[in-house]
A and B are shown apart, each in its own frame.
Chain A
Amino acid sequence: MPRFSAGSYPVALPLVAVAALALSACSGGTSASGSSAGKTLVVDTSFNLKTADPGREFEPTGQIVDKALYETLLSFKGSDVTKPVPGLASSYEQSADGKTLTLHLRAGAKFADGSAVTADDVVFSLNRVIALKGNPSFLLDGVTVTKTDASTVTLVSKKANPALPFILPNPALGILSAKTVQAHGGSATATDGAEKYLNTTSAGSGPYTLTSFNTNTQVVLTKNPKYTGSDKPTYDKIVLRNVQAPTQKLNVQRGDSQIALDLTSDQVTGLSGGLKVDSGASSDVIFLLLNRNTKVSSTTANAKFAEAVRKGIDYKSLLSLAGTGSVQPAGVIPSTFLGALPASEAAGRDLAGAKAALTASGIAKPSVTLGYASDLTVDGLSLQTLAERVQAQLKEVGITVTLAPAPTTTELDNYRNGKEQLGLWYWGPDYPDPSDYLTFLPGNLVGLRADWKAGADPTLTALGDKAATTIGDDTRKTLYEQIQTRMNASGPFIPLMQPSRNTVSAASVTGVAYNPVWTIDVAALGAK
């Protein structure tokens, strides 16, 4: 309403006082709801939600919802994503060539409507994800799902797929009741029309069922009394509300909500009221990209220039922007995943070395533009702030960085088409396995965004191919470490940091754990 505004004066306290009087009269009839009555748990989060249909969702809030509504074949316990644990499948075997995964279904598992979970339901649900060609379809790229017998399912991948047990816990691969979905327009084809139904009623065997669903307001989940899994949920009702971070803070402090998921480090310092704060490193890795395409910039394509940037950045100072809990990953793989480089390998600032490298590059007075999405915040950290800090640090080296901010929707195009000279972006894991980071290699999805073409580094490509097909955690770990060490030496990506991830909860809530895949498992929360 800027039409009539003029000047700037302080508070309209008299009006607020009038408002207060009116309010006190109005709110008398309402009583604060909380965890006490009927065990309702209110979770505040800033929604990123489009659908509750597992075959179509791949948004953070959708993952929280579907984790509660549907069971997956395998799962993770708490925040540990290095070891898959049983879900609807009580056990699994992986063939030596890594191509075949055999899963044995848990006996006695039932959907919320009382019908049994069968191998047919599993085949239907997974084939549906593949056929819908939606955001999560890539999870099962090249995978064929077949029923071996009533309680066994076999997943055959075209290429060796050691990551599959780490992919299966994704809530997008939740198992639906084939009968129910088919009765409401569902089919494992592209013409499937069950989304509307699944946004009103869930068709899973998870610890909760869907009571109401709105992508802008709130999602209400009710305990599934027929849940057959091991960990029975504590709360009868879960209300997920769409609330912005500053309001989340006040709500949780006041006891209007019991959990706030999106508070930044600044916001969690000095919280009162016996609240618990769970801070840890996010698995989002923010990195700097230097384009290899000489047509885009001959400066960033210069290897010595890249070295100067790598040595010129003060990583510790960047971490101070993100606050407690943030870490500097030593490679592109986040510190909490299998195959992460040890922290001791992380790059540090070497100003003299940076200046020497810059001189060696032969570029006098280098000037580059840094593209980034100015409206994007990664776990509460604004890329704008980060970009400004990087600009200042590189100035000390003698590199002029011109900031080129743009809205995410615009800048994503530049990034994906490889048009940025320097780019500031992050990669959030699709599934917690190091193979997800092979996209950074030459000729792959992210590699190409820096114009790192296939064949640019044959040794690295060979290592990547080997890592993608090798079974055995120890061998894989070694391979991924080698890949990252080589990428750090000669690649176009500079990992900057993993911001901190804070979960604030009321003192009465127990069992809060941040999981990189589904943020929080509401069914695992307890009360005291």
Chain B
Amino acid sequence: MSPRWVPSKGAGGKGAGSEGREGAGSGDGDRLLAASPTARRLPGPRRRLLARHPLARFLLRRTATAVLLALGVTLVTFVLTNLVPGDPAAANLGQRAIGDPAIVAQFRHHYGLDKPLPVQYVTYLGNLLHGDLGESQQSHQSVLTDLSTAVPATLELAGAAIVVSLIVGVAFGVIAALRRDRFTDQLLRVVSLLGVSVPTFWLALLAFYVFFYRLGWAPGSGRLDPGMTAPPHVTGLYTVDAALAGQWPVFWSAVGHLALPALVLTAYTVGLLTRFTRSAVLEVLNQDYVRAARAKGLPGRTVLFQYVLRAALVPVITVAGLAFGALLSGTVLVESIFAWPGLGAYAYRSATTLDLPAVMGVGLVVGLVYLIVNLAVDVLYGVIDPRVRVQ
């Protein structure tokens, strides 16, 4: 679903989109909700009690939680990184430079390490308010710049993986449930179990070896052919950017390079989703309203999509959301094998070199991703299941 932008002032009660389930404005949050389906369907007496706009309040509360959690993330990463017995100066300066007190002092001063820890933390928070995540000691660039290339790289990978996983996983799960205990079900059970239990890094190595080295079907490592230049930066997703710029050779190269690592990641999530979809569908299949629908003589397809699948999707969405979050933050091994310059590789390098601003930047991004995914999942509940809306 696409977020609907709500005019910040004056559009209040009428609302821009009558079905605005996902508010993007923050200033006039209270007014936003007048048009939401939730509000409209509330029984009369309770309408005033819930201050008219439950979705807005929900979103506001979520935003407040998000800010608190982000604060917590920075505090925890800051404290933990400083507890590690090690000195960023020692990790970043050369053998000789570390022996020169003037150079060490210069380094500490440049990165603000010469100040007391509480002051460092407060300074960081102050800069954060201005959107400044600090300068990475590794790349000598602002962390924001580094993240603006690393995050889209991982997002492209994880996004492709989750889309394929959802389609394949849900399809497999439904088939398995409908063919319960028959051969197809047993086969899919084996497939999904394998997908869940095979170590992803090992599968990545194997896939790269077989499909790139042995068969030559997949292109080599990286995001593009070495001879190509990255498309102009719009979203940071090479496939999208190349398509926007109309650079079709680059687009195909990006898609080709994306396919193998994304499919490796898919193996795990497909297994997971198949298992969850299967059990969710089985549970719904025995419900009275499904039997009633069948008894009414509704076509099988209608029963499956409108009655069974819709109800079964709630737990599946939950798992998919979690899996997506895990994909974003847990692709480090796959990224390293495919030389994919994503968030995992960046996080690993930053952590091993005590690059505090970068570690905190990554922590913030991962925290935010989980928050956004959870929020999206919660909103989707309401879309899928009318019961949630009324509660």
Instruction: Name A residues whose Cβ lies closer than 8 Å to a Cβ of B.
Output: 1, 3-16, 18-20, 22-24, 26-33, 37-38, 40, 42, 50-51, 56, 58, 133-138, 190, 195-196, 199, 212, 214-218, 220, 237, 239, 241-244, 246-247, 250-251, 253-254, 256-257, 375, 407-410, 412-413, 416, 427-428, 430, 445
B218 at the interface (CB under 8 A from A): yes
Q: Are B211 and A19 in contact (CB under 8 A)?
A: yes
- Since A19-B267, A217-B223, A241-B226 are in contact, a sample of 14 more A-B pairs with Cβ atoms closer than 8 Å, ordered by chain A residue number, is A1-B323, A5-B199, A12-B271, A15-B194, A32-B219, A138-B97, A199-B140, A215-B138, A216-B149, A242-B341, A409-B352, A412-B86, A413-B90, A416-B90
Q: Are A23 and B337 in contact (CB under 8 A)?
A: no
The 0/1 profile, CB within 8 Å of A marked 1, for residues 162-193 of chain B is: 00000010000000000000000000000101
B391 at the interface (CB under 8 A from A): no
B34 at the interface (CB under 8 A from A): no
Instruction: Give, as a whole number of angstroms, the nearest-CB distance from B176 to chain A.
Output: 14
Per the bound structure, the CA–CA distance linking A220 and B224 in Å amounts to 13
Chain B residues within 8 Å of A218, by CB? 222, 226
Chain A residues within 8 Å of B346, by CB? 216
B150 at the interface (CB under 8 A from A): yes
Per the bound structure, the CA–CA distance linking A407 and B106 in Å amounts to 25
Q: Which of A3, A5, A217, A413 has the most CB of B within 10 A?
A: A217
Closest B residue, CB atoms, query A253: B213
B98 at the interface (CB under 8 A from A): yes
B336 at the interface (CB under 8 A from A): yes
Mostly helix, strand, loop or mixed at chain B's interface? Answer: helix
B95 at the interface (CB under 8 A from A): yes
B200 at the interface (CB under 8 A from A): yes
Closest B residue, CB atoms, query A428: B95
Per the bound structure, the CA–CA distance linking A169 and B389 in Å amounts to 72
Chain A residues within 8 Å of B50, by CB? none
Q: Are A407 and B259 in contact (CB under 8 A)?
A: no
Say which residue of A6, A16, A137, A407 sits within 8 Å of B352 (CB atoms): A407
Chain B residues within 8 Å of A37, by CB? 227
Q: Are B215 and A33 in contact (CB under 8 A)?
A: no
Instruction: Give, as a whole number of angstroms, the nearest-CB distance from A198 to chain B.
Output: 10
The 0/1 profile, CB within 8 Å of A marked 1, for residues 94-122 of chain B is: 11111110110010000000000000000
Q: If A23-B211, A247-B221 touch, does A5 touch B196 (CB 8 Å cutoff)?
A: yes
Number of interface residues of B (CB under 8 A): 92
Listed by A's residue number, 13 A-B pairs whose Cβ atoms lie within 8 Å are A16-B203, A27-B218, A37-B227, A215-B140, A216-B139, A217-B341, A237-B227, A241-B222, A241-B339, A244-B337, A244-B339, A251-B220, A445-B96
B327 at the interface (CB under 8 A from A): yes
Q: Are B263 and A30 in contact (CB under 8 A)?
A: no
Per the bound structure, the CA–CA distance linking A308 and B222 in Å amounts to 50
Closest B residue, CB atoms, query A53: B140
The 0/1 profile, CB within 8 Å of A marked 1, for residues 265-276 of chain B is: 011101110000
Say which residue of B98, B100, B193, B252 sits within 8 Å of A29 (CB atoms): B252
Chain B residues within 8 Å of A253, by CB? 213
Say which residue of A4, A12, A135, A375 sits within 8 Å of B94 (CB atoms): A135
Per the bound structure, the CA–CA distance linking A214 and B229 in Å amounts to 13
Per the bound structure, the CA–CA distance linking A138 and B323 in Å amounts to 50
Interface residues of B in 335-389 (CB under 8 A from A): 336-339, 341, 345-346, 349, 352-354
Closest B residue, CB atoms, query A52: B140
Per the bound structure, the CA–CA distance linking A9 and B198 in Å amounts to 6
Q: Are A16 and B221 in contact (CB under 8 A)?
A: no
Chain A residues within 8 Å of B195, by CB? 12, 15
B212 at the interface (CB under 8 A from A): yes
Interface residues of B in 242-294 (CB under 8 A from A): 248-249, 252-253, 255-257, 259-260, 263-264, 266-268, 270-272
Instruction: Name B residues whose Cβ lies closer than 8 Å to a Cβ of A.
Output: 84-87, 90-91, 93-100, 102-103, 106, 138-141, 146, 149-150, 168, 191, 193-200, 203, 205-213, 215-223, 225-230, 248-249, 252-253, 255-257, 259-260, 263-264, 266-268, 270-272, 322-323, 326-327, 330, 336-339, 341, 345-346, 349, 352-354
Q: Are A33 and B341 in contact (CB under 8 A)?
A: no
Q: Are A247 and B268 in contact (CB under 8 A)?
A: no
Q: Are B211 and A195 in contact (CB under 8 A)?
A: no
Instruction: Give, as a whole number of angstroms, the nearest-CB distance from A516 to chain B.
Output: 15
Q: Which of A4, A220, A239, A251 has the most CB of B within 10 A?
A: A4
Q: Are B100 and A137 in contact (CB under 8 A)?
A: yes
Closest B residue, CB atoms, query A446: B95
Chain B residues within 8 Å of A4, by CB? 196, 272
A-B pair count, CB < 8 Å, reads 243
Per the bound structure, the CA–CA distance linking A50 and B252 in Å amounts to 31
Q: Are A256 and B259 in contact (CB under 8 A)?
A: no
Per the bound structure, the CA–CA distance linking A51 and B223 in Å amounts to 22
Q: Are B91 and A250 in contact (CB under 8 A)?
A: no
Q: Are A23 and B352 in contact (CB under 8 A)?
A: no
Q: If A1-B330, A27-B218, A27-B259 touch, does A216 touch B349 (CB 8 Å cutoff)?
A: yes
Per the bound structure, the CA–CA distance linking A4 and B345 in Å amounts to 22
Q: Are B209 and A250 in contact (CB under 8 A)?
A: yes
Say which residue of B86, B216, B259 sits within 8 Å of A409 (CB atoms): B86
Q: Are A413 and B86 in contact (CB under 8 A)?
A: yes
Instruction: Give, as a whole number of angstroms, the nearest-CB distance from B215 to chain A.
Output: 7
Q: Which of A19, A32, A239, A246 has the most CB of B within 10 A?
A: A19
Instruction: Give, as a whole number of angstroms, the nearest-CB distance from A527 to chain B.
Output: 16
Closest B residue, CB atoms, query A445: B99
Say which residue of B87, B196, B200 sits within 8 Å of A413 (CB atoms): B87
Chain A residues within 8 Å of B99, by CB? 138, 445
Instruction: Give, as a whole number of angstroms, the nearest-CB distance from A57 to chain B.
Output: 10
Q: Are A12 and B198 in contact (CB under 8 A)?
A: yes
Q: Are A51 and B259 in contact (CB under 8 A)?
A: no
Q: Are A214 and B97 in contact (CB under 8 A)?
A: no
Chain B residues within 8 Å of A216, by CB? 139, 146, 149-150, 341, 345-346, 349
Q: Are B352 and A133 in contact (CB under 8 A)?
A: no
Q: If A409-B84, A430-B95 touch, does A50 touch B267 (CB 8 Å cutoff)?
A: no
Q: Are B203 and A12 in contact (CB under 8 A)?
A: yes
Per the bound structure, the CA–CA distance linking A23 and B160 in Å amounts to 13
| Leading 6 A-B pairs by shortest Cβ distance | A29-B252, A256-B220, A409-B86, A19-B263, A33-B227, A27-B256
Say which residue of B103, B207, B221, B272 sits within 8 Å of A133 (CB atoms): B103
Chain B residues within 8 Å of A30, by CB? 219, 225, 249, 252-253, 256-257
Chain A residues within 8 Å of B266, by CB? 15, 19
Q: Are B197 and A9 in contact (CB under 8 A)?
A: yes
Instruction: Give, as a whole number of angstroms, the nearest-CB distance from A164 to chain B.
Output: 15
Q: Are B259 and A56 in contact (CB under 8 A)?
A: no
Say which residue of B93, B200, B221, B271 sits within 8 Å of A256 (CB atoms): B221
Q: Are A19 and B264 in contact (CB under 8 A)?
A: yes
Closest B residue, CB atoms, query A240: B226
Closest B residue, CB atoms, query A406: B85
Per the bound structure, the CA–CA distance linking A42 and B226 in Å amounts to 7
Instruction: Give, as a whole number of angstroms, the nearest-CB distance from A518 to chain B.
Output: 15
Chain B residues within 8 Å of A16, by CB? 203, 206-207, 210, 267
Per the bound structure, the CA–CA distance linking A242 and B197 in Å amounts to 30
Q: Are B96 and A40 in contact (CB under 8 A)?
A: no
Per the bound structure, the CA–CA distance linking A290 and B103 in Å amounts to 28
